[in-house]
A and B are shown apart, each in its own frame.
Chain A
Amino acid sequence: MELYFILVITALSCNLPGIWLVLRKLALLSDAIGHVLLFGIVIAYLITHDAQSIWLKIGAALAALFLVILVEQVQRNRTVKQDAAIGLTFPALFSIGIILSTAYLRDLHLDVDRILFGIPELLTLRRVKINRFDIGSVASLTMSSLLLLNLLMMILFYKEFKLSTFDETMAYQFGYKPRLLHYLLMTLVSFTAVGAFDTVGPILVVGFMIIPAATAHLFAKSLGKMFLLSSLLAGIAAILGTFLAQKLDTNIAGMTSIILGCQFALAILFRPKSGLIANFIRRIQQKHQLHEWMLLVHLAHHKNTEDEILENRAKDLKLHLSWPDRQIQKTIRTLIQKNWITETDGLLRTTAAGDHEITNILR
């Protein structure tokens, strides 16, 4: 039960700053931060030589902030765009982290699974006790405090974050310091990433930060709705992912990431009006309508002319329109149903309603 609790609060605390990342088109930054944490951890370890030290986490958070500053500086002289600046800087830092750890920390066993997905299954084993009184696991305490911190900041700075994200120039002009707000947000992202990194691994951290927000962005008309929907999606994915992973005896972080991906895929497919399926249906409808119009116009063009008997007989239409039989039969049926044409002895003629429709079409 506590496992569900941990996953849900991790989902929510990642999701809150993640929404702003998505809206600021900085989704890639979450991935970049996930990578440079290693750099920070390695540097901090080389200084402290203590694998349990709290300094490793502080080092990781500082490395993330360092990355953010670096990205800003690279981007500043306008030769590269923001996404390119992120792509340029984090692989460098990540590589340095890898080189240092392989050169100096060879004795430290690094497990790829552990690094990519974390081991949420073991989270409840590390407990915090005060006077032998069990007050919860390390993970649930860390993540609860992070969630509270993020929630508090989002409520306090809601208006400020909103304005500086939507229109940075105006925020600056109104005296809301957009750069300060940017660094505040990045600090929250870094702290959250460091905390959640230990809990669910970097893949799911990025997943929780970006995917529910991206999915909610497809639907939400207002920012408030985006927050609600995004949190809901993140929470559902956390619960469903944990449940399925336990049922199927597989990795929780991996399973939850898949659920998040499925949510997004379903949203893209079933979105009303602009979803793939809605588009598909609309295109078919348009195609059918076009066929009806084409046949109707053809019949009208030859109506009351000498060649009407040649052109407008149902069985000869194939010759003139070069359509497959099925399509011709179907279109004729629909037009008769709509009472736009009549059929007498195989000859098709437009009705008054059909002629009226044509004036609309050809207008």
Chain B
Amino acid sequence: MIQINDLTISYREQPVLWDIDEEFPSGKLSAIIGPNGAGKSTLLKAILGLVQPLSGQITIQKKSVKEYLGLIAYVPQKGNIDWDFPTTAFDLVLMGTYRSLSWFRRPGKLQKQKTEAALKRVGMWDFRDRQISQLSGGQQQRLFLARALVQDAPIFLLDEPFQGVDIPTEETILSLFQELRNQGKTVIAIHHDLGMVQKYFDWVLMLNVQKIVSGEVSKVFTKENLEKTYASKGDFLILPKLQDKELSNPISNSKLI
């Protein structure tokens, strides 16, 4: 269980996250939604210990950052990587296995087998020898997922995994999420497509510098809450086709995808 208590983070004097309390459930698909500048990425970075909080703490299974860091596989936004780096698709995924290696140890047969399995899982095995800039945006995103898979972590944090991907990739990601949940893993993803949240996710945190609301999608994913989340920044809210009937029905896990 990921527990966040009284978390406040600021860049300079401007708080980007204000007094957040949240408990992400284990073994579920959680979405973090909110307008631009709501502090979504910052929250993920705080969980990873990449930014220092002004107040509050984050614990996972009662462990502090240094101890729990090994439990997390993080999928950053694609833009944060130099895609011209001289490395192949296979090599990029192989780097995910470095987590299990100590200093000076080179990846061996076991690591290469894991890499092969992950590449096949995301449908990228045929592209393994491509230099990574020679791949489409969706293919690059799938590599990132494969790189997260080989880390054998119980918790997955993803920063906008659906950003600019094609339909096959979207399907791959969704089926992968499903599979991970069935294995009892915890998945937390920052998200923009509200319709998708409603359809595929179990838990949602609505964020706009402050926490607006969080809870099971079936209970808290309402028009009022969404408006509260998006309206306060003056953004236009384009709601997905929300139907009251759908909202009141709890979404059963087995029917997903």
- Chain A residues near B (Cβ < 8 Å): 23, 25, 156-160, 162-163, 165-167, 169-170, 172-176, 217, 220-223, 225-226
Q: Which among B87-95, B173-181, B203-211 touches the partner chain?
A: B87-95
Given A176-B98, A176-B103: A169 touches B74 (CB 8 Å cut-off) = yes
B residues in contact with A225, CB < 8 Å: 86
Q: List the A residue with the shortest CB-CB distance to B45.
A: A169
Q: List the A residue with the shortest CB-CB distance to B106.
A: A159
How many of chain B's residues touch chain A, expressed as a range? 20 to 34
Per the 8 Å Cβ criterion, residues 84-110 of B in contact with A are 84-88, 91-92, 95-96, 98-99, 101, 103-107
Complex Cα gap A156–B91 (Å) = 18
Contact B103 A160, beta carbon cutoff 8 Å: yes
Contact B81 A167, beta carbon cutoff 8 Å: yes
- Chain B residues near A (Cβ < 8 Å): 48, 50, 69-70, 72, 74, 76, 80-82, 84-88, 91-92, 95-96, 98-99, 101, 103-107, 129, 131
B residues in contact with A158, CB < 8 Å: 106
B residues in contact with A223, CB < 8 Å: 85-87, 91
Q: For B81, give its contact among A166, A172, A226 (CB under 8 Å).
A: A166
Contact A173 B74, beta carbon cutoff 8 Å: yes
Given A159-B106, A160-B103: A170 touches B95 (CB 8 Å cut-off) = yes
Contact A174 B99, beta carbon cutoff 8 Å: yes
Q: List 10 A-B contacts (CB under 8 A).
A: A23-B86, A25-B82, A159-B107, A160-B103, A163-B95, A163-B98, A173-B74, A217-B84, A221-B131, A222-B88
Contact A166 B101, beta carbon cutoff 8 Å: no
A residues in contact with B107, CB < 8 Å: 159
Main secondary structure of the interface of A (DSSP, over half): helix
CB distance from B65 to the nearest CB of A (A): 11
Query: What 6 pairs across the A-B complex have the smallest Cβ distances?
Result: A220-B86, A221-B131, A174-B99, A226-B86, A223-B86, A166-B85
CB distance from B43 to the nearest CB of A (A): 15
Complex Cα gap A165–B129 (Å) = 20
CB distance from B102 to the nearest CB of A (A): 9
Complex Cα gap A165–B84 (Å) = 12
Contact B48 A173, beta carbon cutoff 8 Å: yes
